[in-house]
Amino acid sequence: MSNKDLTRELKQTIKELTEEKEDLLRNISSKESRVKQILIQLENTTDDVTACGKKIREQEDRIKDLGIELNTANAKINETKKNKDTPVDEEQSDTHITEAEQSND
């Protein structure tokens, strides 16, 4: 091979490598852009999960409070039923409770 052939071959190789490099840089840029999009989606998803977790905790607290209120109301109902079923002693009959006083309890 002559010097001209070697030079021509070298130039062709340099041209091909330069094109390949440009393709790779475009691919890298495209992939970096996609990674940024995915990171943004991940951040949004993380924020959504955090917000959902907070709402779930609030709902659990509300359920707990309602459960306590329900248990208290059931206890009062049971106590009222029990008091109605229990015969009243003569000493207890001296203290009359009006309906208004009972509803205040």
Domain definitions of the chain by residue range? 3-80
pLDDT at 105: 47
> Residue 72 is which amino acid?
T
Alpha-carbon radius of gyration of the chain: 41
Residue pLDDT, tens place only, 73-89: 999 999 998 888 766 55
| Separation of alpha carbons 33 and 53, rounded Å | 30
Give me 20's structure tokens.
């390949």
pLDDT at 84: 84
Quick one: what percent of the chain has pLDDT higher than 90? 72
Give me 92's structure tokens.
């207890």
Q: How many CA atoms lie within 13 A of 51 on its CB side?
A: 6
The predicted model scores a pTM of: 0.52
pLDDT > 60? residue 50: yes
Do residues 76 and 105 make contact, with C-beta atoms less than 8 angstroms apart? yes
Residue pLDDT, tens place only, 21-41: 999 999 999 999 999 999 999
